[in-house]
Amino acid sequence: MKKILAIVLCLAMLCGCLAGCGEGDTAGGDKVIKIGIFEPASGANGAGGKQETLGIKYAHSIQPTVTIGGETYEIELVEVDNQSADDKAVTAAAELVNKGVSVVLGSYGSSVSIAASPTFEEAGIPAIGVTCTNTQVTEGNQHYFRICFLDPFQGSVLAKYAWDNGIKTAYTLAELGNAYDLGLASSFKDAFEKLGGKVIAENFPTNQADFTSYITNAKKAGAEAIFAPTSTTYAQLIIEAAATQDANMPLYAGDTWDSNVILDAAKGKNVTINVTTFYQEGGNAEYDKGFKDWINSDPQNLTNNGGNDIVAAVSAMGYDAYFVALEAIKAAGSGDAAKIKEALWNVDYTGVTGQIKFDSVNGDAQRSVAYIKAADTATGAWKFVKEQGV
C-alpha cells in the first residue's frame, strides 16, 4: 500500500515538473507588462503588507495602462505572498521571476527583501523597496531601489523630536531578533545620546505578551518617554500595558505604528502616541478621497485595510511606488527589465508622499523630512503634528 502511494506521489511530482517547465514559456505577452507585488499577506507583517498592496492596487485601478512610443500596454499585477519568512521569500521571488515580471515592488519588512534580493539580481529584474527601511536592502546592490527613508534617518528624526519636546531620559523597547526594531532603537539611541540625552535600551523575546514589567522598568529608570518601534501585534499590548499602569509617558514609534490597529488600541485610553511616517492623511485631498472611495467599493478591500477606510502611510507609499515603476517603464521605452533598471536611476517623480529621486550610490530615495503624527485617543484618528527633519 505504501509503495503504491510512493509511486503515485512520484508520478505527481513528475507531472508537476513537466507542468512547471511548461509554464515558463507562456510569460510575456504582446501588449502586457507585468509588475510583481512582493508583499507578505500572512505572518508577522501580514497586516502592513496587505495595506501596502492595497495602495499598489489602487494605483493600478487609476492607471492600468502605460503608453510607450504611441502604443498602449496593459499593466498586469502579479501578487505573491512571502509569508514574512526569509526562506519562503526566496521561492516567492522565484515565482515572480518565473511569471515574467519586469519590475518588482516590495516588500514590507526588510529581512524578506534581503533574502529575495539575490534572486532578483540573478534574474536581472529591478526591485523597488516600498517601506523596507533597513540599510542592508540596497547597500551594494545595483538592482534594489527604495522610495522610503532609512532606519538611521527615522531614528534620528524621533530623537530630535523627543529632545525638542524636553525629554532628557528615554527608554527604548525592541523585539529581540527583529532587525527593524533594533535598527531603529539603536539609531535612536545614537542620535539621542549625541544630543545629550540618556537612553535605557531593553529588548523583549518574541511572542511576549506581558509588558507590565517592562513599563515598570521604564518608570523605575526615570524615563520620560518610551520609544517602542515594534510590530503592531506587540504595539497593541504595549499600549495596553502603558495605559493600565498609568505610565504617563509619551510612546514614540516608527512607521509600523501608523496603522489602524494602533488607533483601535489607543482609543479611549490615557496615552500619548507619536509616530513618524511617510505620508500624512490629508496631505493630498484628491488621493485621500479616491483611495477611500475605492476601499469602500469592495468589502474585501475594506477587510484588508483593517476594517475601516483610514489611509495608511504604507498604502500611499505603495501608490507612489507603482507610479515610480510606470515612470521608469516610460523612460525605458519598453517592458524590458534591464532597460527599466537603467532608467530607474534617473527617475524623478513627485508623488503624494513627496519627491522621489534616487541617489547614485545605492538607489535610495533622498528624503529629508518625515511626518510626525499623534493618535487622538478621543476620536480614534491621527492628528498631524509637524514635519520633522534631522
Partner 1 sequence: MDYILAGISVGGQYALIAIGYTMVYGILRLINFAHGDVFMVAGLIMIYATTAMPLYLSIPLVLIITVLVGFTIERVAYKPLRTAPRMSVMISAIGVSYMLQNVALYITGGLAKTYPAIPFLSDTVTIFGATTKWVTVITPVLTIILIIALVLLIRFTKIGIAMRAVSKDFETSQLMGVKINRVISVTFIIGSLLAAVGSILYFANYPSVVPTSGAMPGLKSFVAAVFGGIGSIPGAVIGAFIIGICENLIRSLSIGGVSLTPFSDAFTFALLIVILCVRPSGLFGEKTIDKV
Partner 2 sequence: MKSLLITNQQKAKKINTYTNIVLFVALLAVLVVIDMTSNSFDMIVKVLQKGCVYAIVAVSMNLLNGFTGLFSLGQAGFMLIGAYVFSIFSVKDANRATVFSFSGEPLVDFELPLIVAIVLAGIVAAIFAFLIGLPVLKLKSDYLAIATLGFAEILRTIIQWDKLGRLTNGSFPISKLNSFKDLLKDTPFDKLSYVIPFFLVALVCIGFIALLIKSTYGRAFKAIRDDEVAAEAMGINLAKHKMISFVTSSFFAGIGGAMYAVYVGSTNAAPFTSALTYEILLIVVIGGIGSLSGSILASFLYIASQEWWLRGLDSGEFMGLRLPLFRNGFRLVVFSVIIMIFVLFFRKGIMGDKEFSPVGLFNGIVSLPKNIAAKFNKKSKKSTKAEVTE
Binding residues for partner 1 restricted to 31-90, rule: CB under 8 A: 40-43, 46-47, 50
Decide: is 9 part of the binding site for partner 2 (CB under 8 A). yes
Decide: is 372 part of the binding site for partner 2 (CB under 8 A). no
The answer for residues whose C-beta is within 8 angstroms of residue 213's C-beta and 6 or more apart is: none
Decide: is 355 part of the binding site for partner 1 (CB under 8 A). no
Bridge-partner residues for 37, per DSSP?
A: 79, 105
Among 265, 266, 273, 370, binds partner 1 (CB under 8 A): 265
Helix (H, G, I), strand (E, B) or coil at 56: helix
Decide: is 237 part of the binding site for partner 1 (CB under 8 A). yes
Q: Which helix (H) or strand (E) holds 317?
A: helix 313-332
User: Measured from the CB of residue 318, what is the shortest distance to partner 1 in angstroms?
Assistant: 17
Count of residues that interact with partner 1, criterion CB under 8 A: 39
Tracing cell 527593524 back to the chain, one arrives at 180
Decide: is 208 part of the binding site for partner 2 (CB under 8 A). no
Decide: is 11 part of the binding site for partner 2 (CB under 8 A). no
Nearest one of 357, 330, 296 to 58, comparing CA atoms: 296
Binding residues for partner 1 restricted to 175-204, rule: CB under 8 A: 176, 201-204
Rg (CA), the chain: 22
Q: How many residues does the chain have?
A: 390
* Side chain identity at residue 351, one-letter code: G
Among 56, 127, 159, 179, binds partner 2 (CB under 8 A): 179
User: Measured from the CB of residue 59, what is the shortest distance to partner 1 in angstroms?
Assistant: 22
Q: Which stretch binds partner 2 (CB under 8 A): 65-73, 174-182, 214-222, 266-274?
A: 174-182
Binding residues for partner 1 restricted to 285-304, rule: CB under 8 A: 303-304
**Residue (122 or 193) nearer to partner 1, CB:** 193
Q: Strands 103-105 and 71-81: what pairing?
A: unpaired
> How many CA atoms lie less than 13 Å away from 300 in the CB half-sphere?
3
**Residue (214 or 382) nearer to partner 1, CB:** 214
C-alpha–C-alpha distance, residues 88 and 94, integer Å: 10
Question: What does the angle CA 36 – CA 109 – CA 171 come to, to the nearest 5 degrees?
Answer: 165
Bridge-partner residues for 72, per DSSP?
A: 67
Decide: is 246 part of the binding site for partner 1 (CB under 8 A). yes
Decide: is 240 part of the binding site for partner 1 (CB under 8 A). yes
List Cα–Cα distances, 289 to 220, 281, 311, in angstroms: 46, 10, 9
Provide the sign of the torsion angle of the four alpha carbons 339, 344, 348, 352, taken in this order: positive
**Residue (159 or 266) nearer to partner 2, CB:** 159
User: How would you list the strands of the sheet with 103-105, edge to edge?
Assistant: 65-68, 71-81, 32-39, 103-105, 127-129, 144-146
Decide: is 244 part of the binding site for partner 1 (CB under 8 A). yes
Q: Which residues bind partner 2 (CB under 8 A)?
A: 1-7, 9-10, 13, 16-17, 20-21, 24, 41-42, 46, 79-81, 85-91, 93-95, 97-98, 110-111, 114-115, 117-120, 122-123, 134-136, 139-140, 174-179, 181-183, 186-187, 203, 205-206
Q: Which residues bind partner 1 (CB under 8 A)?
A: 40-43, 46-47, 50, 176, 201-205, 207-214, 216-217, 220, 232-233, 236-237, 240-241, 244-246, 261, 264-265, 303-304, 306
